[in-house]
Structure 1
Amino acid sequence: MEVMKKHFVLVHGAGHGGWCWYKLKPLLEAAGHKVTTFDLAASGIDLRKIEQLHTLHDYTLPLMELMESLPQEEKVILVGHSLGGMNLGLVMEKYPQKINVAVFLAAFMPDSVHISSYVLDQDLTLALSLMRPSSLFREDLSKAKYFTDEGYGSVKRVYIMCTEDKGIPEEFGRWQIDNIGVTEAKEIK
């Protein structure tokens, strides 16, 4: 019996582009799966400037357009890394019917209960004082009412924690797993 081939949509994190999946993409394709990688707004080779983006939705627009273009009956496996988890959240809210499962790979995982879980004030203060503008969208996220149980909450969620990841500390990854709710959690050491 042949295994059903899937369509994976791989979403990069902040400071990256679709190129960052260059090792995973050919492995999935060799297994017969369809794989889509792309650049979020002002990332990779996308020509927009970060200063042109004012909301998380602006940053997520290329992913929104991709999801909109999918046939109504197609369901994808969304994989988001790091800040890419926030992009997954927006798409899960708007297109839950087009998503088979959302995989958060050492990623921020939004929820509809603990709104401040994705606004880390102390870390953000340090980052903003040391770095040039980036796609953190603190003001946008702190006022967000993006994620509902009917949209985002209706999609199956898997969290993969990378215990040595420096962007999403293990303690925070475990907090997300325990407090936000996932269907399945895995750990990579």
Structure 2
Amino acid sequence: MESGVSSGMHFILVHGLAHGAWCWYKVVARLRAAGHRATALDMAASGAHPARLAEVASFEDYSRPLLDAVAAAPEEGDRLVLVGHSLGGLSVALAMERFPNKVAAAVFLAACMPRVGSHMGITVEEFMRTIKPGFFMDSETMVLNTEQGPRTAVLFGPNLLASKVYDQCPAEDLELAKLLVRPGCQFTDDPMMKDEALLTDGNYGSVRRVFVIAKADSCSTERMQRWTVDLSPGAEVEEIAGADHMAMLSKPAELCDVLPKVARKYYD
């Protein structure tokens, strides 16, 4: 889903686990109204993407829609502002490593934000280690039969969505999510997630990073988000009061104040 005019800043928006481009609809509309370009993408087997999750061989394949979009950006001219939400931060990190000269800045919205010298899956592992038993409530865990072997996936349950993910969102957005979420996978067994040499100072480390803390997040708590920032020195921090995990839906106007401010600071 791409919208906007040719002038202004170009934001590429990447959703989190089990979601899709649809969750950015309020942000896309606001950025477009302000004269910017906004491209919200479906990762593989997410949103309206036609693939099934069992057909996605790797985290790189899952992130391919973003990698292809950044690769297609002109070598000359305006660079991109990548925005990753939750698990989408890891796809953004991979794009930063591959195409650092095409990215003016990366925004991590309550997101997994890795650091040079650590494997990309470290933030996912820490999240899974710190949550309490029963965290996923009525979510359904499933085992997918893939060509790479069995892989665990999760389908978020309506009670989890209501109490921990969309708890500050309008009721309409919660109902939309119940209709549109799909099974998601964190790809924790993917070799790319365990490669401590994947992210380099010269590429990933050269791109400006801004972490946006959703201060009312019941899923990835403020404490967990600040741990992520501390893990990755050099990132700037913005905060949005009252934002739950789906800050793009619970506080879209506030997020759309932050994004152009970040972009103006680093856009060439």
TM-score normalized by structure 2? 0.64
Secondary structure class of the residue paired with 2:189: helix
| Residue 76 (structure 1) aligned to one of 76, 80, 84 | 80
1:2-33 residue CA offsets vs partner (Å, 9 max, x unmatched): xx720010111111111111101111111100
Query: Corresponding residue for 2:202?
Result: 150
Is 1:136 aligned to 2:140, yes or no?
Answer: no
Q: CA deviation at 1:130?
A: 4.9
Is 1:117 aligned to 2:123, yes or no?
Answer: yes
Which stretch shows the higher mean deviation, 129-138 or 144-153? Answer: 129-138
| Residue 111 (structure 2) aligned to one of 88, 102, 107 | 107
| Residue 179 (structure 1) aligned to one of 231, 240, 253 | 231
Secondary structure class of the residue paired with 1:22: helix
Query: Corresponding residue for 2:263?
Result: none
Structure 1 residues 143 and 114, CA, compared in 2 at 3 Å: closer, same or farther? closer
Secondary structure class of the residue paired with 1:25: helix
Q: CA deviation at 1:109?
A: 0.4
Matches for 1:1-189 after TM superposition, within 5 Å: 5-73=8-76, 74-115=78-119, 116-120=122-126, 121-122=128-129, 123=131, 130-132=140-142, 133=153, 134-140=184-190, 142-145=193-196, 146-189=198-241
Q: Is the Cα–Cα contact under 8 Å of residues 109 and 211 in structure 2 kept in the other structure? A: yes
Secondary structure class of the residue paired with 2:63: helix
1:79-118 residue CA offsets vs partner (Å, 9 max, x unmatched): 1101000110100000000000000011010111343334
Structure 1 residues 80 and 152, CA, compared in 2 at 3 Å: closer, same or farther? same
Q: CA deviation at 1:135?
A: 2.0
Q: Is the Cα–Cα contact under 8 Å of residues 12 and 83 in structure 2 kept in the other structure? A: yes
1:120-161 residue CA offsets vs partner (Å, 9 max, x unmatched): 3535x976x952313200111552232111111110000000
Q: Is the Cα–Cα contact under 8 Å of residues 41 and 60 in structure 1 kept in the other structure? A: yes
Q: Which runs of 5+ in 2 are unaligned?
A: 1-6, 143-152, 154-183, 242-268
Secondary structure class of the residue paired with 1:23: helix
1:161-189 residue CA offsets vs partner (Å, 9 max, x unmatched): 00111332211110111220244101112
Counterpart amino acid of residue 23 in structure 1: K
Moved over 6 A (4+): none
Q: CA deviation at 1:55?
A: 1.8
Q: Which runs of 5+ in 1 are unaligned?
A: none
The alignment-based identity, stated in percent, is 39
TM-score normalized by structure 1? 0.89
Secondary structure class of the residue paired with 1:119: helix
**How many pairs does the alignment contain?**
185
Report the Cα distance in structure 2 between the residues aligned to 1:88 and 1:158, rounded to whole angstroms: 12
Structure 1 residues 185 and 38, CA, compared in 2 at 3 Å: closer, same or farther? same
